[in-house]
Amino acid sequence: MNKMTKELHAFLLQHVNEMAQEWLDSREIEEHSVYTADASSEVTEYLREQNQYFTRAIVQALKDGSFKNLSGWVQKITTKRACLGNPLYLSIRHFKMFRFIFLNKVEAFVSLHQSSIIQRDILLWNRTLNEAFDRMIELFTMYYGQVAEAQAYAQKMLISELSTPVISISDTVGVLPLIGQIDDYKSNDFVERIMVQAKDLELSCLIIDLSGVPSIDTMMTNELFQVVNMLELLGIDTTITGIRPEIALTAVHLGIDFSKIRTYGKLKDAVNNLLHIR
């Protein structure tokens, strides 16, 4: 490691706290996000500590070109983010935001030492630091996918093992939580069980919760709303919760009329409202 790289290494370590604060100050209000600007002081301090650790690991890459300190830390952090349900795209957005802050600090160092820095140093620093950030994002995405897949599989297995997929929450209201890919439920037996159970439970309303469904294609969206029509024939109103924007867009493209169906963003809101009504 040459003299100027050593000085950059020391300079960045001196500004670890400053960069962390700048990143925390850049946050905005984000619903369902650990990064939201209105997070508790405990969460904010947790984020500060994790950011400082990450910064030191990135700076270490300048010293020895090693990314070995990243993998274990990324796996631990990713597991926690995924278990909290923090959307992946928000984490990626904040990595990009912090990369901008970090590289701005490198630029500040270059401006202070222009006469002593050669172009080859700048190119090396840029390549090393960007590779470290890219490696971080790659690992984070990989581990997040693994955790999310494991969660979805476990939940799907739990649902499939239940003899009663419809959960009764009152004398007249039931909930059908769908988890994983909608096509996992594509079987006449599953649909028939829904109908039979809803009728046997003497439900007047069934809540179909889609918050655990990551995506849905055109065919399955159409089949889902066919189920809604079948329930209507049985005299059972349907309420749908947790509809993601892409699902709503697919339904609109199909010309499906939402006007006769209650929809809520969150399951708890539908439950509170329907139980209050009844």
Could you read off the pLDDT of 245-264 as tens digits, one per residue? Answer: 777 777 777 777 667 788 88
| Amino acid, single-letter form, for residue 19 | M
Whether 162 has a pLDDT exceeding 70, the answer reads no
CA–CA separation, 52 and 45 (whole Å): 11
Say yes or no: 146 and 14 in one domain.
Answer: yes
pLDDT of residue 182: 60
CA–CA separation, 266 and 27 (whole Å): 25
Q: How far from 65 is each of 68, 106, 131, 148, CA to CA, in Å?
A: 9, 17, 10, 31
Compute the average pLDDT of residues 15-20. Answer: 96
- Please identify, among 159, 180, 197, the residue that sits at the C-terminal boundary of a domain: 159
Say yes or no: 129 and 11 in one domain.
Answer: yes
Q: What is the band of 71 on the pLDDT scale with cuts at 50, 70, 90?
A: confident
Name the more confident of 274 and 138: 138
- Please identify, among 159, 181, 201, the residue that sits at the C-terminal boundary of a domain: 159
Domain limits at 116? 3-159
Whether 176 has a pLDDT exceeding 80, the answer reads yes
Question: In 3D, which of 180, 268, 164, 176 has the Cα closest to residue 220?
Answer: 180
CA–CA separation, 191 and 24 (whole Å): 48
* Mean pLDDT, the chain, integer: 84
The CATH number of the domain where 184 resides is what? Answer: 3.30.750.24
- Please identify, among 112, 130, 159, the residue that sits at the C-terminal boundary of a domain: 159
Say yes or no: 28 and 85 in one domain.
Answer: yes
Say yes or no: 81 and 104 in one domain.
Answer: yes
Whether 101 has a pLDDT exceeding 70, the answer reads yes
Alpha-helical regions (H) of 184-277: 188-200, 218-233, 245-253, 267-277
CA–CA separation, 175 and 165 (whole Å): 8
pTM over 0.75: no
Q: Which sign does the torsion angle of CA 174, 178, 183, 185 carry?
A: negative
Whether 65 has a pLDDT exceeding 80, the answer reads no
CA–CA separation, 260 and 238 (whole Å): 9
Say yes or no: 209 and 127 in one domain.
Answer: no
Lowest model confidence (mean pLDDT) among 101-105, 109-113, 268-272: 268-272
Whether 75 has a pLDDT exceeding 60, the answer reads yes
The CATH number of the domain where 35 resides is what? Answer: 1.10.490.10
Whether 187 has a pLDDT exceeding 90, the answer reads no
